């Protein structure tokens, strides 16, 4: 599980560094921008837009120098704090171009623009000119803001500051006396207590982004309401309340679609119309608002995880995916758990985004799925290998059992005759294999005993269960064959013990020609304590009991192993979680002759529960299903399974008049306990599916 998650994490980190996931991350970024709550308009800003109506009213495709001059005078008369003019004036637009230039040269409130292809108006101070360039991502969407840049020597625009940052700095200087402090390395800008960090090439979902100059991620305020907007004509005709202008930041620019200064934004993704696009002046307003809101309102700035933090983030989710797949084998439940985890992952990413954190979501999502998938594939491969291994061991086991049975039939002295059973049974306090101290005898039957013991070589001397089996004969040939069977059985139990509801095999050993299995101690009580004669369980409790055991049988039968002795005393109710644990596997019991009292095990199976074919020494996988079905009937009827008779004509157990349940459950139990194994359920999974339909 851990190895799988580490490998997947490293692979995804490499894939991420190749930029293969950037487009997905940018799309997710756009969706989160759209889904998060919008902020109200910034009251410190006013956008004066040159609209389609202004073009019609003024009969000008671009405002003339005279119109702009009048506009600027009105704004300054109404005490605008700072004005950003987003119109290029490298080519005169008459009438009034000279007047406009003179106004710009003498005004200390207006900031003009230039670009890499358009020079600024002549005669202006460098502090009054800002570049208007907006960096686009490869898909044409504007997600970043360029605040500072080092212009090329041949560029007609030599300004190092964007029009938005000059506007914000002038406003902050006049209103709060805040001056910019750029770090010596140029990686951070401090304004008051707020520090803006330069966007790195691999910040957030970017890979090798063009981060020339000083860029930040554009933290959009809203789609279409970043600030109040008025038109040129309304302002010129004195239809704008002077209170909207006084002390405010005024941004003047074209908002008419015909001017073609309409740009793609994160709000454009998934929209067929142009409703998600923004005019260039509106985007500049977004940048200005972002800067002054961060400084004056403490609005969070976008932050990102460092590279090592991203790897840990991805690793945590891949580890979760691997853990889910390791603990949930059922396909439907695995799918639901994985889906829920992805929902939590995306929800966490969005929650962090609403708090201005941009963290990768594609790599952890893929990592969770890939890690879970790799564990499923590995588990399936391992189970197949284990199944093949167990199948080979079972074949060997069957041959060994046949050989032992033939040796038993040959006659000769048996353990009955040549051993003192009482002397051979360890008493309380005896230490087996120099390690396991017997504390209690849990059971004895025939030539097998079960002890509760303490593992004296482990810290705290934890409890364990020791099963002691005596071979039926003591001659060397019989012991050698029995030893081989015992070893095979232990190897099978070792594999089965990987399931969390089958006791884990801790050790096996031979001492004084007797065999011992050491298994995990299950704290709890056996099901026999719950199924008292005369006590009937409700249908829901019986269904839950059957499902619990069937879930284990799916695993056991998946390894081609037959338990052979499903009965209440071999089903433990675990104290920790009330789950049923299946105990006491063992074809190894056949290394001794079986007493024929009807209340004891016969041919490795118990009367009342063992199926007809098992009693004839030919158990099948669905023989366990028969035994479990009898337990279900016993739980409903409150009567011991061996006391339930079968109809002599149909061979169906006659129990329905003794227990109350739905026809659906009764039909399932009848099919589970069918006399003929061909008419019986063929797999535990099939029974589980039918039970879920009730």
pLDDT band at 594 (very low <50, low <70, confident <90, very high): very low
- Classify domain 415-520 at the CATH class level: alpha beta
Residue 248 has pLDDT above 70, yes or no: yes
pLDDT tens, 196-213? Answer: 999 999 899 898 889 899
For residue 235, name the pLDDT band (cuts at 50, 70, 90).
Answer: very high
| Residues 583/528, Cβ–Cβ less than 8 Å | no
pLDDT bucket at 116, cuts 50 / 70 / 90: confident
- The proportion of the chain whose per-residue pLDDT surpasses 90, expressed as a percent, equals 57
Q: For tokens 């004969």, what's the residue?
A: 473
Answer whether 0.85 is exceeded by the pTM. no
The CA radius of gyration of the chain, in Å to the nearest whole number, is: 41
Task: Give the C-alpha separation, 500 to 243, whole Å.
Answer: 73
Length of the chain equals 694
The token pair that represents 264 in the structure block: 């793609």
Block residue for tokens 């400084």: 295
To the nearest 10°, report the CA torsion of 9, 14, 20, 24: 30
Distance (Å, whole) CA 485 – CA 401: 7
Q: Which two tokens stand for residue 239?
A: 């239809």
Q: How many CB atoms neighbour CB 224 within 10 A?
A: 12
Position 239 scores a pLDDT of 94
Please give the angle made by the CA atoms of 271, 275 and 277, to the nearest 5 degrees: 95
Could you check whether 415-520 and 524-692 share the same CATH topology? no
Partners of 258 in the beta sheet?
Answer: none
Rounded to whole angstroms, the Cα distance separating 422 from 430 reads 14
Average of pLDDT values for 348-374?
93
Specify the pLDDT at position 413: 54
Kindly report the CA angle at 542 between 536 and 544, in degrees rounded to 5? Answer: 150
Question: Taking the domains of the chain in order of start, what are their residue ranges?
Answer: 37-296, 305-410, 415-520, 524-692
CATH number assigned to the domain covering 524-692: 1.10.510.10
Residue 550 near residue 691 (C-beta atoms within 8 A) = yes
Quote the CA–CA distance of 464 and 34 in Å, as a whole number.
Answer: 60
Residue 382 tokens read as 């391992």
What digits encode the pLDDT tens for the residues 269-306?
877 777 889 999 999 999 999 999 999 999 999 999 99
Could you report the per-residue pLDDT of 492-522, keeping only the tens digit for each?
A: 888 888 889 999 999 999 998 889 999 999 9
Question: Which residues are catalytic, by number?
Answer: 565
Spatial distance between the Cα atoms of 465 and 522, rounded to a whole number of angstroms:
9
pLDDT of residue 479: 85
Contacting residues for 365 by C-beta, under 8 A, at least 6 apart: 317, 342, 345, 346
Q: In DSSP terms, which residues pair with 448 in a beta bridge?
A: 445, 469
**CA distances to 406, 482, 693 from 400, in Å:** 10, 8, 43
What pLDDT shows up at residue 596?
A: 43
pLDDT at 222: 94
- CA neighbor of 290 nearest in space, from 198, 224, 218: 218
On average, the pLDDT of the chain sits at 88
| Mean pLDDT (whole number) for 646-669 | 86
CB 130 within 8 A of CB 102: no
pLDDT, tens only, 123-151: 888 889 999 999 999 999 999 999 999 88
pLDDT at 414 over 90: no
Distance CA 117, CA 112 (A): 15
Q: What would the mean pLDDT of 603-617 be, rounded to a whole number?
A: 82
Give the residue-averaged pLDDT of 323-331. 84
Kindly state the average pLDDT of the residues 524-550.
91
* pLDDT score of 412: 57
């Amino acid at each position: 599980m851990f190895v799988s998650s580490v490998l997947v994490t490293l692979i995804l980190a490499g894939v991420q560094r190749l930029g293969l996931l950037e487009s997905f991350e940018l799309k997710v970024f756009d969706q989160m921008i759209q889904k998060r709550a919008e902020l109200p308009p910034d009251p410190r800003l006013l956008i004066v837009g040159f609209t389609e109506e202004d073009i019609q009213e003024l009969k000008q495709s671009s405002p003339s120098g005279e119109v702009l001059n009048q506009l600027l005078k009105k704004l300054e008369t109404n005490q605008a704090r700072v004005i950003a003019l987003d119109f290029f004036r490298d080519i005169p637009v008459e009438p009034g171009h000279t007047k406009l230039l003179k106004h710009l040269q003498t005004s200390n409130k207006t900031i003009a623009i230039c670009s890499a292809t358009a020079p600024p108006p002549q005669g202006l101070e460098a502090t009054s000119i800002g570049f208007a360039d907006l960096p686009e991502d490869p898909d044409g969407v504007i997600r970043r803001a360029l605040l500072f840049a080092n212009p090329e020597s041949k560029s007609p625009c030599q300004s190092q500051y964007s029009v938005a940052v000059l506007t914000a700095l002038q406003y902050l200087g006049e209103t709060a006396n805040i001056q910019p402090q750029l770090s010596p390395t140029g990686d951070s800008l401090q304004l008051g207590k707020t520090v803006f960090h330069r966007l790195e090439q691999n910040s957030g979902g970017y890979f090798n982004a063009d981060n020339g100059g000083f860029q930040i991620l554009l933290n959009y305020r809203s789609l279409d309401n970043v600030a109040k907007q008025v038109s040129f004509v309304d302002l010129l005709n004195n239809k704008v309340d002077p209170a909207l202008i006084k002390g405010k930041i005024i941004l003047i620019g074209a908002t008419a679609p015909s001017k073609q200064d309409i740009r793609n934004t994160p709000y454009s993704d998934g929209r067929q119309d142009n409703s998600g696009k923004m005019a260039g002046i509106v985007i500049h307003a977004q940048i200005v608002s972002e800067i002054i809101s961060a400084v004056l309102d403490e609005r969070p700035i976008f932050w990102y995880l460092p590279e090592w933090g991203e790897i840990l983030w991805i690793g945590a989710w891949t580890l979760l995916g691997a853990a889910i797949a390791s603990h949930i084998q059922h396909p439907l439940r695995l799918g639901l758990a994985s889906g829920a985890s992805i929902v939590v992952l995306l929800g966490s990413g969005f929650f962090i985004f609403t708090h201005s954190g941009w963290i990768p979501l594609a790599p952890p999502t893929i990592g969770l799925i890939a890690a879970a998938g790799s564990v499923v594939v590995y588990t399936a491969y391992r189970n197949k290998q284990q199944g093949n291994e167990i199948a080979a061991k079972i074949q060997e086991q069957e041959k060994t059992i046949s050989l032992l049975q033939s040796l038993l039939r040959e006659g000769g002295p048996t353990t009955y005759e040549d051993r003192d059973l009482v002397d051979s049974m360890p008493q309380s306090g005896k230490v087996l294999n120099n390690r396991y101290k017997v504390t209690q005898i849990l059971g004895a039957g025939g030539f097998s005993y079960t002890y509760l013991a303490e593992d004296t070589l482990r810290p705290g001397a934890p409890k364990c269960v020791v099963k002691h089996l005596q071979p039926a004969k003591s001659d060397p040939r019989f012991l050698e064959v029995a030893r081989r069977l015992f070893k095979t059985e232990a190897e099978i139990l070792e594999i089965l013990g990987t399931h969390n509801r089958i006791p884990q095999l801790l050790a096996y050993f031979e001492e004084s020609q007797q065999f011992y299995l050491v298994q995990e101690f299950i704290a709890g009580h056996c099901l026999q304590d719950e199924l008292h004669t005369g006590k009937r369980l409700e249908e829901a409790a019986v269904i839950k009991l059957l499902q619990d055991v069937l879930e284990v049988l799916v695993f056991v039968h998946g390894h081609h192993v037959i338990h052979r002795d499903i009965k209440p005393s071999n089903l433990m109710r675990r104290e920790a979680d009330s789950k049923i644990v299946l105990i006491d596997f063992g074809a190894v019991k056949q290394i001794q002759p079986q007493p024929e009292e009807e209340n004891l095990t016969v041919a490795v199976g118990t009367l009342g529960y063992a199926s007809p074919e098992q009693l004839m020494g030919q158990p099948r996988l669905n023989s366990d299903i028969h035994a479990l079905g009898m337990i279900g009937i016993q739980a409903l009827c409150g009567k011991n399974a061996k006391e339930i008779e079968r109809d002599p004509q149909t061979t169906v157990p006659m129990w329905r008049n003794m227990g109350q349940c739905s026809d659906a459950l009764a039909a399932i139990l009848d099919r589970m306990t069918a006399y003929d194994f061909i008419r019986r359920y063929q797999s535990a999974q099939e029974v589980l599916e039918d039970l879920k339909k009730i």
